[in-house]
């Protein structure tokens, strides 16, 4: 277990009773990140690339430094790191700038039923627009992807063919907590079709797992700063250099051009080609403090901490409530992140979340932007509790007490 | 203050006017696909008066209690009274502090009422 880190997070000074169990939706922010935001806004809050004056140069330097910190964090090249607003925008960027270039009628786009809408809808729409075939990988009852494992080996021949141009899948499910065997899937998919483009939604992995893009060998990886202790308004798209170069720009306008004439425009090279207009400068600058904080805490230690909390929570939920609690997702902790979605008796998830909120316990209720998955699980909604580095065993125990109160109130 | 007041819980656990009416004068339904809540509403009208009213469905405590409380106020009222039911009426009737997210639950019965006569 990590030491108690709550002191690093100012929200707990202002709201000491808070039991925050919704880091899957949004992480809390450590003081170092807030201080960096204030530093930018109070010392050098100038636009980037444009000014020849000192504070603009300072802002540009700080902004570009974050690009290097992100690149190092995922073992990428600096110019392969594009800043967007969030994971959703990163994925849409690929769907528009590459998808619309390479997808023809009859091609296949493959995704999974466990995706967040942001890695589902862009591909569904692209398929509808182009006449491509939209294929969806199902899950098994244990919440893992329904892929064919032949004597321990993954066999993708049923889903991936030579016509599959894009495979878009999540590294970690934001509902089931399933951590997909990504490296193996990518390797097998590329063996079947070396030209396949693999888009990885890492929104729930970048905050918790070591990501090495060179080792994974996918083509795009998307994630959001706000889920990994950083500010809102910043997303990352990592893409392979050759692909970023051949793609269309996404948005056109300032910052992304090198020369503009009456009859034509020459674009900048990636990543700037994809960063039109003034970005979230202060937020990008402060994002690197979040990554530094994660690194100094240690990603492996964070994962270990979350594993222990998750196991503890799964155990005491079962001990206290038995069959009344139905928990979704893998039982094997090695294949599961610190995310626990459940239903409780026949209580409505909204009522559960509201009564927990009365006790300052923040959980999420609903379909968590994964309607196809909830339909697959045959539930309208679930309650979801999730853990991050500031959570501890006492938070888990308070959740259990909170659920007892729910039971008492509603029966 | 909790929104799960005694009155709300009472109407959730023992909803009034719960069920269907076999041959209603008017029928409607409303649903919230986001959380799967669903209500059906039947009324019997005689001489421009609401002679009987019943609702049935699945939902959270707030949507069920709201439907129960609202239908209670409508029984034996003039049909025109239906027009008086709006968001503020329901908020006052429930007398709890609903945030924007839970307000939708309380107003599901309003949607059903609005659909009744169209
Ligand atoms: C797996 C997954 N993908 C994508 C997203 C979308 O992230 P954002 O809202 O930052 O675009 C989320 C956020 O909930 C997520 O959990």
User: What domains does chain A contain, in order, with CATH numbers?
Assistant: 5-21+298-410 (3.90.1150.10), 34-295 (3.40.640.10)
Q: In this structure, how many other beta carbons lie within 10 angstroms of the beta carbon of residue A191?
A: 12
B38: closest CA of chain A, how far (Å): 11
Site from B6, B36, B38, B107 to mutate, A interface, most A CB atoms within 10 angstroms:
B36
Q: How many CB atoms lie within 10 A of CB A411?
A: 10
Can you tell me the ipTM of this complex? Answer: 0.88
The string of pLDDT tens digits covering residues A131-162 is 999 999 999 999 999 998 777 778 898 899 99
**Ligand 1 center to A243 CA (angstroms):** 23
Contact residues on chain B for A405, CB-CB shorter than 8 A: none
pTM exceeds cut of 0.90: yes
pLDDT, position A31: 98
**What does the domain layout of chain B look like in residue ranges?**
6-116
- In whole angstroms, give the CA distance from residue A89 to residue A119: 10
At A369 the pLDDT is: 93
Write a three-state SS string for chain A: CCCCCHHHCCHHHHCCCCEECECCCCCCCCHHHHHHHHHHHHHCCCCCCCCCCHHHHHHHHHHHHHHHHHHHHCCCCHHHEEEECCHHHHHHHHHHHHHHHHCCCCCEEEEECCCCHHHCHHHHHHHHHHCCEEEEECECCCCCECCEEECCEEECCCCCCCCEEEEEEECECCCCCEECCHHHHHHHHHHHCCCCEEEEECCCCCCCCCCCHHHHCCCEEEEEHHHCCCCCCCEEEEECHHHHHHCCCCCCCCCCEEEECCCCEEECCCCHHHCCCCCCHHHHHHHHHHHHHHHHHCHHHHHHHHHHHHHHHHHHHHHHHHHHEEECCCCCHHHECCEEEEEECCCCHHHHHHHHHHCCEECEEECCCCHHHHHHHCCCCEEEEECCCCCCHHHHHHHHHHHHHHHHHHC
Residue A410 contacts B, CB cutoff 8 Å: yes
Chain A residues touching B105 at Cβ < 8 A: 350
pLDDT at A346: 93
**Cα A236 to middle of ligand 1, angstroms:** 12
Contact present, A128 and A109 (Cβ < 8 Å): no
Q: According to the model, what pLDDT value does residue A399 have?
A: 98
What is the pLDDT at residue A402?
98
A375 inside 8 A of chain B by CB: no
Chain B residues near residue A351 by CB distance under 8 angstroms: 4, 60-62
Q: Which of B9, B36, B61 faces A380 most closely, judged by CB atoms? A: B36
Q: Which long-range contacts (CB under 8 A, 24 or more apart) does A50-53 make?
A: none
Q: How far apart are CA A106 and CA A193, in angstroms?
A: 16
How close is the Cα of A226 to the center of ligand 1, in Å? Answer: 10
Q: What is the pLDDT of residues B11-47, one digit of tens each?
A: 999 999 999 999 999 999 999 877 778 999 999 999 9
Phi, psi of B16 (to 5 degrees): -85, 155
Beginning with the edge strand found earlier in the chain, give each strand of the sheet holding A325-327 in spatial order. A325-327, A339-344, A382-386, A364-366
pLDDT at position A21 is 98
Residue ranges in chain A whose pLDDT is less than 70: none
Specify the ligand 1 atom closest to the Cα of A201.
3
Shortest Cα distance from A351 to chain B (angstroms)? 6
Q: Is A369 a catalytic residue?
A: yes
Residues in chain A with CB shorter than 8 Å from the CB of B9 are 409-410
Topology classification of domain B6-116: Sufe protein. Chain: A (3.90.1010)
For residues A403 and A340, the answer to whether their CB atoms sit within 8 Å is: no
Residue B35: predicted pLDDT: 78
A118 CB near ligand 1 (under 6 Å): yes
Q: Is there a contact between A355 and B34 if contact means CB atoms under 8 Å apart? A: no
B59 to chain A: closest CA residue: A348
Q: How far is the CA of A383 from the centre of ligand 1 (A)?
A: 17
Pairing of the two strands A81-84 and A108-112: unpaired
Please answer yes or no on whether B102 and A358 come within 8 Å at the CB atom. Answer: no
CA distance B39 to B18: 10
As a whole number of Å, the CA-based R_g of chain B is 13
CA A268 centroid distance within chain: 28
Question: pLDDT tens across B70-112, in order?
Answer: 999 999 999 999 988 999 999 999 999 888 888 999 999 999 9
Contact A348 B60 (CB under 8 A): yes
Cα separation of B48 and B41, whole Å? 18
Residues A204 and A87: beta-carbon distance below 8 Å: no
Whose structure tokens read 């193996």?
A184
Is residue A380 within 8 angstroms of chain B, CB to CB? yes
* Cβ–Cβ under 8 Å, residues A309 and A391: yes
């Amino acid at each position: 277990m990590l030491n108690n880190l709550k002191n690093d997070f100012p929200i707990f000074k202002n709201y000491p009773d808070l039991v925050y169990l919704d880091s899957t939706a949004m992480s809390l922010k450590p003081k170092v990140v807030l201080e960096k935001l204030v530093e930018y806004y109070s010392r050098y809050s100038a636009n980037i690339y444009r000014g020849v004056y000192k504070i603009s140069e300072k802002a540009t330097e700080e902004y570009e430094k974050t690009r290097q910190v992100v690149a190092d964090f995922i073992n990428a090249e600096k110019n392969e790191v594009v800043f967007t607003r969030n994971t959703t925008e990163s994925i849409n960027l690929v769907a528009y700038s590459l998808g619309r270039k390479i997808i023809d009628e009859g091609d296949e786009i493959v995704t999974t039923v466990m995706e967040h809408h942001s890695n589902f809808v862009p591909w569904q729409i692209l398929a509808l627009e182009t006449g491509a075939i939209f294929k969806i990988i199902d899950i098994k009852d244990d919440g893992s992807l329904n892929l064919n494992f032949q004597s321990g080996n993954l066999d993708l021949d049923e889903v991936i063919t030579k016509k599959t141009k894009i495979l878009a899948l999540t590294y970690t499910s934001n509902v089931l907590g399933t951590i997909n065997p990504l490296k193996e899937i990518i390797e097998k998919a590329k063996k079947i079709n070396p030209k396949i483009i693999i888009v990885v939604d890492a929104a729930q992995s970048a905050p918790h797992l070591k990501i090495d893009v060179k080792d994974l060998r996918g083509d795009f990886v998307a994630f959001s700063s706000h889920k990994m202790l950083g500010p809102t308004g910043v997303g990352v798209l990592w893409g392979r250099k050759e692909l970023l170069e051949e793609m269309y720009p996404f948005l056109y306008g300032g910052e992304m051009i090198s020369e503009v004439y009456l009859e034509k425009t020459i674009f900048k090279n990636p990543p700037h080609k994809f960063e039109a207009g003034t970005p979230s400068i202060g937020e990008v600058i402060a994002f690197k403090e979040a990554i530094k904080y994660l690194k100094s805490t240690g990603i492996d230690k964070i994962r270990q901490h979350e594993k222990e909390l998750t196991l503890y929570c799964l155990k005491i939920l079962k001990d206290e409530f038995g069959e009344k609690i139905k928990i979704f997702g893998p039982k094997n902790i090695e294949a599961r992140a610190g995310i626990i979605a459940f239903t409780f008796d026949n209580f409505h998830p909204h009522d559960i979340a509201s009564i927990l909120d009365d006790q300052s316990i923040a959980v999420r209720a609903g379909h968590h932007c994964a309607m196809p998955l909830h339909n697959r699980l045959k539930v309208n909604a679930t309650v979801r509790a999730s853990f991050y580095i500031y959570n501890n065993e006492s938070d888990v125990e308070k959740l259990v007490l909170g659920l007892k109160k729910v039971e008492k109130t509603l029966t | 203050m909790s929104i799960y007041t005694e009155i709300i819980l009472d109407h959730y656990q023992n909803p009034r006017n719960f069920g269907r009416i076999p041959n209603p004068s008017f029928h409607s339904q409303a649903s919230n696909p986001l959380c799967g809540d669903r209500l059906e509403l039947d009324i019997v009208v005689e001489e421009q008066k609401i002679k009987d009213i019943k609702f049935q469905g699945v939902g959270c405590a707030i949507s069920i209690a709201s439907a129960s409380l609202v239908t209670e106020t409508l029984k034996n009222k003039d049909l025109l009274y239906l027009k008086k039911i709006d968001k503020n009426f329901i908020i006052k009737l429930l007398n709890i502090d609903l945030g924007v997210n839970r307000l939708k639950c309380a107003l599901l019965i309003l949607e059903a009422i609005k659909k009744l006569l169209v």
